[in-house]
Structure 1
């Protein structure tokens, strides 16, 4: 006898923007969003890698191709479209299909609120806001980036500082951010990661395989943080068991929520349950 399922209702739309061909924790987060029935993923957009930290697939187009592969591995009907972002940092040449898609989705009327989840540099987000400034009041940005320590290096912000400065200056834009000190709390031991992903079916193995050939400049120790995963708490689960500070943007109405702790048990327990359920559905 099969176990009866509890109906989960959609409560938001999500656009997912990331440098998908970089750190594979972004792919884990993408899979988790796609498997979560409480959010409707309406578009996937890609950004490029910081040239200071080269990988074998550095372009935004490479990330879009990898995201498309993951969508095929997830399978199912009504998969969201994938749009490649700018190959340049924010500036005169940063227009892209990704920015166009973000603006179009924000302008589309829908009863569900829109979360723009960015796990990489804010290049595409900044371009979308520049070409369509009216969308600042029509979405909430959920960003993996920034730091509590103003002097600390943080990859996503520092890959395109001009983009980050432009986005955070939008006084009427709601921003929920997970700074480096917080997203590093999502630590996962390599041994656990291999076991938990590698034993949860075909999709889990696909994800694990993308951890096994890191760029030459990465020296893997005993852990690999799944730092791009916390936005799933915002879009598909709950932040009630996490912690944050909140303020209002200077000169505007936008909320600036900065998370200081995340419920990793809820986050990763749900991830593994979703992967196992996906595998059962293949049987």
Structure 2
């Protein structure tokens, strides 16, 4: 009798489990369709926050990545990190490809290394610049964003190759010090000539996220260790990039995920972040802002919805259960 009761109980438990699994699989899912195309440009051989933003962008269904291009590191920064001169754009390409392999997204979009040299004067258009032009000139009903978390080298060279791309996409740029004074900031100061070409001499729409805004996205080292590291193979790999930083980088209690605003504003929502339209300004030799540029305007973001950005990233990094 006990055997029969146990058998019936086992069958009932199994049936209950099957019903529960079926019920979960039948739960409704909010449909998402891409609302934009994204070209992702960054110096992926540098600060790992670019790879955090890349993983976020690749994981979301709200936008369609169409191209990844990589830019070089400042020579002094590369030397401090032990990286050979003239090979950091290529190293950034490999880092982006490695991440895509880990995420299982190897055929998602092309990854192309940009110029190893800064500036546009006399520069020969790189493969990245040519790819940017080709995508911008391609007819597609989705609007195109060029998101840049590093120097504007590749975009400036693309504009030199084909100025008409200025009317076919919007630049979302992590760069520049805060207004109204400005000053030295890595993404701006590393290739000031390229920034001038884009801001002063093109009519491309620009959304600028200066230092005071992008530093609002912070994650504590404790949270990264307790939450991000064990979440998945992808997050363990991203965490490992921070665990293997050069000795000259001294982390405190938190890490700035300064490139993540690009994903927030183009692929999650810009509505809960504060921005205003300001007059574009000329860039002085010391990276301060100079006189207003007649007819030039910039959408300047000063307050970002950090909670929304980080919550979306962590949710997308969870292993899929559907």
Spell out, residue by residue over 1:38-81, the C-alpha distance to the aligned partner (whole angstroms, 9 max, x if none): 10000000001111212234610110011011111111474111
Spell out, residue by residue over 1:206-231, the C-alpha distance to the aligned partner (whole angstroms, 9 max, x if none): 11111111123211111110000001
Indicate whether 1:100 and 2:137 are aligned.
no
Indicate whether 1:261 and 2:303 are aligned.
yes
- What is the CA distance between 1:170 and its match in structure 2? 3.6
Q: Paired residue for 1:41?
A: 65
- Return the TM-score normalized by structure 1: 0.94
Aligned partners of 1:88 and 1:94 also within 8 Å: no
Which runs of 5 or more residues in structure 1 are unaligned? none
Q: Paired residue for 1:110?
A: 140
Aligned mates of 1:112, 1:248 — CA distance in 2: 28
- Return the TM-score normalized by structure 2: 0.83
Q: Paired residue for 2:100?
A: 71
RMSD of aligned residue pairs (Cα, Å): 1.7
Aligned mates of 1:64, 1:185 — CA distance in 2: 27
Aligned partners of 1:95 and 1:127 also within 8 Å: yes
Aligned partners of 1:186 and 1:264 also within 8 Å: yes
With over 3 angstroms needed to count, the CA separation of the structure-2 counterparts of 1:77 and 1:21, relative to structure 1, is closer
Aligned partners of 2:159 and 2:166 also within 8 Å: yes
Which runs of 5 or more residues in structure 2 are unaligned? 1-23, 281-292
Q: Paired residue for 2:77?
A: 53
- The aligned runs of 1:22-37 (5 Å cut-off) are 22-37=46-61
With over 3 angstroms needed to count, the CA separation of the structure-2 counterparts of 1:151 and 1:117, relative to structure 1, is closer
Larger Rg: 2
Higher helix share: 2
- What is the CA distance between 1:151 and its match in structure 2? 4.5
Indicate whether 1:195 and 2:211 are aligned.
no
Aligned mates of 2:32, 2:312 — CA distance in 1: 14
- What is the CA distance between 1:88 and its match in structure 2? 0.3
Aligned partners of 2:97 and 2:106 also within 8 Å: no
Aligned partners of 1:173 and 1:255 also within 8 Å: no
Further displaced range: 240-249 or 63-72: 240-249
1:42 is paired with a residue whose SS is strand
How many residue pairs end up in the alignment? 279
Aligned mates of 2:76, 2:276 — CA distance in 1: 32
